[in-house]
Structure 1
Amino acid sequence: MSGSATVVTAYHRLASGSGDTFQEWITRTVDAAKVEEGYVGSSVSDGSGPADCGVSHTFTGIENLHRWLDSPEYAQVAEDGAARGVLAKSSDLVLVEGIPPPPGIGVYDHTVVAGRQTEFLRTQHLLINASSHFSGYEGALLLRSIQDATRWKSVLRFRTEQQLAVWMRSPQRAEVLPELRAELAEDFTETVRSTPFGTIFRTENGHTRVTPNWKTAMIVLLVLYPTVMTLSRFLGPVLDDFGAPPWLSMWLSQIVSVGAMTWFLMPAATRWFGRWLDPIDGAKRRTNIRGTVVVLGVYAATLALFASVRWLQFWDYFD
């Protein structure tokens, strides 16, 4: 299910006794999604305990997901839900495999041991109740897969990433986690998170793993060298023509370089080399060696490019 994309939507609780209305509407929504191209599966949060009501749909790619969200069929089921009192509590949350969720959103996948669903829900309710007392808490969903009852996804929403981090490091959460793990067939996994400069964070067995520094340094160099060479060739002469002194020209070039790397180039490189940078998947010998060879190959290609193409050699364009 490489490149899969999921939309998650939370809804306000219906009035007491209206549970069947929500279930009927969910059934219609899933039936409408099933016939769309690339449909993989759906999950539902029925609002049990402190969890919000909600639903998620997964498709094989972001294009298929957006095609569904933009379709008249989706608009119709949303309109029908509103008429029944099923009102969205938040905007649609789109999660794409390999790309970190938005700030303040925690996404966790669980495989529950058969027959321990009741215990799992009780523990999850303890976690949600505890997290609700922390600053910035906005809600939580417990999404059970319709296709596989042992597969669950919990989605935790905080106002900011910092507030989510406070909860994640809290002793209240740590106290409940051993009980949660006892109810899972395998330890829960947290959706991948990354920094703008190539460091990926993953959680395994309750411990946070981070991309090794040497890999982060390699990926930064891979992007930095061609960026500096290109700016020196094309931006440098323009600044010189405007009469900018060398100290100012260098400062302005660095502003452009850092901005481009932070918001465009490094996130793209992190996605392309995500498996190699991943502190868990990338630690496998074959992935590690293959990724390192590819990065070294890109080094060689960029060096050869700037060494052989005179048009790109900035030093030929200065008096």
Structure 2
Amino acid sequence: MNATAVTVFHRPPDAESFEAWLDWMGETAFAAEGFVECCRAVSDDPALEPGFSVTFRSEALVNEFLDSAARSRVLAEGEALGIQRKSSDLVIVEGELPPPGVGVFHHSVADGKAADFVAAEAELVTLSATFPGFEGVALFCRGDTGRWFSVLRFRTAQHLSDWMRSEQRAAALPALRAELTEDFSVVAHTTPFGSTLRTVDGRTRVTPTWKIAMLVLLVLYPTVMTLSRFLGPVLDENGAPPWLAMWLSQIVSVALMSYILSPAVAACFRRWLDPVDGAGWRISALGAAIVVVLYALTLLLFATVKWLHYWDYNR
């Protein structure tokens, strides 16, 4: 999973020196292992914070860069130029919730609407600054792809929730949405078994339990059948008593489902499992129908392929 580190700064005394310094930081990040991309915050408007983001292929690699001697040297040179960090580095891991009090929003901005979008975002930030616990917003553009993301910081999760649920924010959002090609999305967290947690407008939404149960059964049945056919005989031949053989088989089953099979299946049903994008009755019914068809196919497979009949393996 990609991981992004976001650093925000106090407004620098010399904008030209700051831009040159960010170039140096970007070059340092580019030379580090696992580098994916870096972005600098759009901060022409006083409401938006100067910042720098860098993305690596994993959380371990982004932390390795943050702790590196090369980055420390760049930071030290920046401090000598009067460039001061405003807060500690924020590490945002793809598929995981951001730190408490931090909201991360992805935006798809229409062609030719970038300036209008930044202006609308600045107005929204000015409004959010009137709420208790507000600390700042950094806005980043991912090259010329039209993809942007913003990082909103409040002192606590409750402060962030109060702002997200406020009438003032709801009234201001239409102006922001007018500059987008699609509605902005909030960073979500997905468990290995496919349950997705999303926070939208201050409300937490989770994948319905019945969808998770259907996918667990879809993965569990063929896993148990296959292990009973191939692992069971091996354990029996090595003298494992039935109670121990079953326990060892369940360890393998849980490990396969948790780290390989369930995440793979959940990725195929990502939209269906999403508590927002998959909430409609049509997509829910379609996904359920597909799962039922897969049930039928697995039952047919194990019913007709004699080679897979574990109960006949010793005959």
The TM-score with structure 2 as length reference comes to 0.66
**Does residue 85 of structure 2 align to residue 113 of structure 1?**
no
1:278 aligns with one of 274, 280, 290:
274
* Aligned-pair CA distance for 1:182: 1.3
The match for 2:73 is 76
1:127 aligns with one of 99, 124, 127:
124
User: Structure 2: how far apart are the matches of 1:287 and 1:34?
Assistant: 44
User: Structure 2: how far apart are the matches of 1:288 and 1:43?
Assistant: 43
Cα 1:199–1:162 change in 2 (3 A) is: farther
* Aligned-pair CA distance for 1:282: 6.5
What are the residue-to-residue correspondences of 1:156-167 with 2, within 5 Å? 156-167=152-163
1:139 aligns with one of 136, 149, 152:
136
The match for 1:42 is 38
User: Structure 2: how far apart are the matches of 1:150 and 1:140?
Assistant: 19
Contact kept in structure 1, 2:186 and 2:198, CA below 8 Å: no
The TM-score with structure 1 as length reference comes to 0.65
Describe the superposition over 1:126-162 as per-residue Cα deviations: whole angstroms up to 9, x where unpaired: 11001000011111111122x3362221111011111
The match for 2:239 is none
The match for 1:13 is 11
User: Structure 2: how far apart are the matches of 1:287 and 1:37?
Assistant: 42
**Does residue 70 of structure 2 align to residue 65 of structure 1?**
no
Contact kept in structure 1, 2:188 and 2:196, CA below 8 Å: no
Contact kept in structure 1, 2:107 and 2:183, CA below 8 Å: yes
Cα 1:208–1:114 change in 2 (3 A) is: farther
Contact kept in structure 2, 1:282 and 1:288, CA below 8 Å: no
Cα 1:207–1:66 change in 2 (3 A) is: closer
Cα 1:143–1:37 change in 2 (3 A) is: same
SS at match of 1:115: coil
SS at match of 1:143: strand
User: Structure 2: how far apart are the matches of 1:140 and 1:194?
Assistant: 25
The match for 2:18 is 22
User: Structure 1: how far apart are the matches of 2:203 and 2:289?
Assistant: 21
Which consecutive residues of structure 2, in runs of 5 or more, have no partner in the other structure? 217-258, 299-315
* Aligned-pair CA distance for 1:218: 8.4
- The letter for the 1-side match of 2:98 is P
Which consecutive residues of structure 1, in runs of 5 or more, have no partner in the other structure? 221-267, 298-319
Cα 1:192–1:51 change in 2 (3 A) is: same
Contact kept in structure 2, 1:201 and 1:279, CA below 8 Å: yes
* Aligned-pair CA distance for 1:166: 1.0
User: Structure 2: how far apart are the matches of 1:199 and 1:217?
Assistant: 13
What are the residue-to-residue correspondences of 1:1-319 with 2, within 5 Å? 3-15=1-13, 18-47=14-43, 48-145=45-142, 147-148=143-144, 150-193=146-189, 200-203=197-200, 209-215=205-211, 275=270, 278-280=274-276
Contact kept in structure 1, 2:104 and 2:151, CA below 8 Å: yes
Contact kept in structure 2, 1:12 and 1:86, CA below 8 Å: yes
* Aligned-pair CA distance for 1:169: 1.1
SS at match of 2:41: strand
Cα 1:172–1:215 change in 2 (3 A) is: same
User: Structure 2: how far apart are the matches of 1:103 and 1:85?
Assistant: 29
* Aligned-pair CA distance for 1:185: 1.8
Calculate the aligned-residue CA RMSD, in Å: 3.6
Describe the superposition over 1:241-281 as per-residue Cα deviations: whole angstroms up to 9, x where unpaired: xxxxxxxxxxxxxxxxxxxxxxxxxxx9xx95685753257
